[in-house]
Amino acid sequence: MALVQFDPQDLTGTRLAALPPLALYVHVPWCVRKCPYCDFNSHEWRDSGGAGLPEADYEAALIADLDASLGEVWGRRIETIFFGGGTPSLLGAATIDRLLSAFRARLNVSPEVEVTLEANPGTFEAQKYADFAQAGVNRLSIGVQSFDNDKLKALGRIHDALEARRAIDSALKSIGNVNIDLMYALPGQSLDEAQADIGVALATGVPHLSAYHLTLEPNTYFYRHPPVLPDEEQSADIQEMVAERLGGAGFEHYETSAHARPGARCRHNLNYWQFGDYLGIGAGAHSKISFPDRITRSARVKLPRDYMRRARAATGGESAVQSQHQVARSDLAFEFMMNALRLNDGFELARFTERTGLALSAIGSTLERAQARGLLVRDLHSVRPTPLGQRFLNDLLQMFLPAKSH
């Protein structure tokens, strides 16, 4: 596969400063059990003969992958680092420590870098959370999904409500900056049950909550064998309740699924939604990298075994990159909107031009049509979705598809 070549000497300090902020995403592809709703690149780890996860091999592959990618991001500062999965908390704290040291040795990592690690309460160990903090992790994202044991069982989770609360308490003591993921509109879930979940979540004292509507994604067990879910009206009632309860408790609803106390917004995810750049390493990881004259997207090999082999053979001419392409100019407006309109505050008009290289005239008529339909509000400096636009976000986004896609 022919990769887009890049000469780091092409960029002066001034041109570097004009590029979007840059984040590093690290994918850890293993989990204890694949959840029936999960469509992420995750693979069940079945311990064979007590061998454990191939941590050392995967660590070496990640570093080799990064080494092969340095030319794309040379000189740019890393503002956030995110370990996602799968279940990154399966890795040892010593592995995370060595990886972060390797990143700092190779990249211009901000002294104020936000380092997030996703964790599963089913793999919780109090000392491990403290060790993660010592390694440099300063934000934990815990996949709770529900505090109702029956719902957790229906979702195929390996933890119960008590384990979830213990994990959250330990994370708050060790790190403090904690997000918990919750799902709503679960199989057989009533409004009262959803309210109970939100009540327990608020009582934990976490500064950030991500509340996701359960959706049946292709290539999942739930898609092939759909459970009985609340209907559209019931789901809308639950969604409205979630926003009201969290807003009343002082949380800012700043993105479709994200709620944070003041000062606790997730900087890494904000970078995605503001059409920033990210280098993704690890099995199946995706990247978006801007250059002065183009934006490229790439994806790594998905299967962990193949990824490790190809990443470590990169010096021999092979690559962990499965695919790479330059984003077509006609697609840039839609790609920008697909991210920026998830933010309830919308975006500054100047950012559209800065991040896409397109003139505002490229979206002017579409903005007017969306505003006429009550989906957007606009002033001289910014655009944001209305409550109606937030509710029918997919309809709003489709308006920005290039003409050939209609």
Q: How far apart are CA 108 and CA 306, in angstroms?
A: 29
The answer to whether residue 385 scores a pLDDT higher than 50 is yes
Q: What is the pLDDT of residues 168-202, one digit of tens each?
A: 999 999 999 999 999 999 999 999 999 999 999 99
The answer to whether residue 2 scores a pLDDT higher than 70 is no
Q: What is the pLDDT of residues 73-116, one digit of tens each?
A: 999 999 999 999 999 999 999 999 999 999 999 999 999 999 99
Answer for the pair 298, 323: CB distance below 8 angstroms, yes or no: yes
pLDDT of the residue at 406: 44
Instruction: Dihedral sign for Cα 197, 199, 204, 206, please.
Output: positive
Q: What is the pLDDT of residues 254-292, one digit of tens each?
A: 999 999 999 999 999 999 999 999 999 999 999 999 999
Quick check: do 8-272 and 333-405 share a fold? no
Three-class SS string for 300-337?
ECCCHHHHHHHHHCHHHCCCCEEEEEECCHHHHHHHHH
pLDDT of the residue at 91: 94
Q: Is 344 helix (H, G, I), strand (E, B) or coil?
A: coil
Q: How far apart are CA 268 and CA 298, in angstroms?
A: 19
Lowest pLDDT segment from 47-51, 59-63, 211-215, 397-401: 47-51
48 pLDDT band, cuts 50/70/90, is very low
pLDDT of the residue at 263: 96
Answer for the pair 131, 107: CB distance below 8 angstroms, yes or no: no
122 pLDDT band, cuts 50/70/90, is confident
> Fold for domain 8-272?
pyruvate-formate lyase- activating enzyme (3.80.30)
The answer to whether residue 29 scores a pLDDT higher than 70 is yes
Q: Which two tokens stand for residue 83?
A: 């370990």
Q: How far apart are CA 226 and CA 374, in angstroms?
A: 34
The answer to whether residue 1 scores a pLDDT higher than 50 is no
CATH top class, domain 333-405: mainly alpha
Q: Looking at this protein, which amino acid is placed at residue 310?
A: R
Domain ranges of the chain: 8-272, 333-405
Answer for the pair 158, 89: CB distance below 8 angstroms, yes or no: no
